[in-house]
Amino acid sequence: MNLMLLSSVQRIFTAQTTGLAVFTLLALGTFTAGVHVFSWQVCLLGLIMALGIPAIAWIENSALLVVPIAVAIVGVGAVLWWHWHQGRSKG
């Protein structure tokens, strides 16, 4: 991880890339530690962290698309809940 934070490496990578690389190294280290001490819980944690890295990268790249879709889903849900609540109180 220290190598990732050297100034020569910082010139090549952006801040987001450096963060994802450090998180990848942390996930790899966690998985390796779990294998070393024969702990399936630590191995599972390392795998979950490793699987979360592509999700984090996707969310960073598509935040401008995800936020309006989430707002639209919440808005439609609120309208449906309000409509259901009004129909239930009348009947």
For the chain, 91 residues long, the average pLDDT of each consecutive 10-residue run is 80 83 88 88 91 83 85 95 83 57
pTM metric for this prediction: 0.59
pLDDT at 91: 57
Question: What is the helix, strand, coil percentage profile of the chain, to 5?
Answer: 85, 0, 15
Query: Residues 4, 25: contact at Cβ < 8 Å?
Result: yes
pLDDT at 82: 92
pLDDT at 81: 92
What's the chain's Rg over C-alpha atoms? Answer: 22
Q: Which helix (DSSP H) or strand (DSSP E) does residue 58 occupy?
A: helix 40-61
CA distances from 36 to 44, 45, 90 (A): 13, 14, 64
